[in-house]
Structure 1
Amino acid sequence: MSTATTAPVYTATTPTVTVLLYRVEEAAEALCISRTQVFDLIRLNKLTSVKIGRARRIPVSAVNEYVTTAIVEAQEAA
């Protein structure tokens, strides 16, 4: 007899969670850059982050703001 594992079944009543903070790795993935580059952006005050205990988190809104600012700067430089 084999035991098969099944994935949880999600229904319309399953609550969804809105992500408000990214881990550094998630922010790096969202921006298609390395985690080192994310830390550089934080150090240069180009990307806002918060510390929760020892953990560093980046607000989703800060990632969106950084992208918007980067686009505007690129257009002005052109």
Structure 2
Amino acid sequence: MADVADPPEGTDDRATALEVAVSSGLPTTHKALKVPEVMEALGLSRFKVYDLIRSRQLKSIKIGRCRRVPADSLRTFIDDQLKEAA
């Protein structure tokens, strides 16, 4: 598999490197949200968001001292809540 940093032989175009990354299945649209962004999206307090993270209802990752919630995890949480409410 080609390395994302190295475009195919004979080219040095950045667009080609991006095409290689996309065709190799690497995610290009993932976003990790900060806790205040999750608070705003859900309309919840900081305490409640961290409570959801602690109880593992909302998946998160830690990068150094920073806590991030993948956008996919937020969507999954919302979908699960909608299914429970139905």
| TM-score, normalised by the number of residues in structure 2 | 0.64
Cα pair distance change 1:61/1:31, threshold 3 Å = same
**Which residue of the other structure, out of 42, 45, 54, is the alignment partner of 1:34?**
45
Look up the SS of the partner of 1:47 in the other structure: coil
What is the distance in 2 between the residues matched to 1:19 and 1:34? 24
**Runs in 1 of length 4+ with deviation above 3 angstroms?**
none
RMSD: 1.5
**Which residue of the other structure, out of 37, 44, 50, is the alignment partner of 2:55?**
44
**Which residue of the other structure, out of 61, 67, 75, is the alignment partner of 1:56?**
67
Please state how far the C-alpha of 1:52 moved relative to its aligned partner: 0.3
| TM-score, normalised by the number of residues in structure 1 | 0.70
1:69 alignment partner in structure 2: 80
RCO higher in 1 or 2 (8 Å CA, sep ≥ 6)?
1
What is the distance in 2 between the residues matched to 1:65 and 1:32? 17
1:4 alignment partner in structure 2: none
Percent identity for Structure 1 against Structure 2: 41
Unaligned runs of 5+ in 2: 1-28
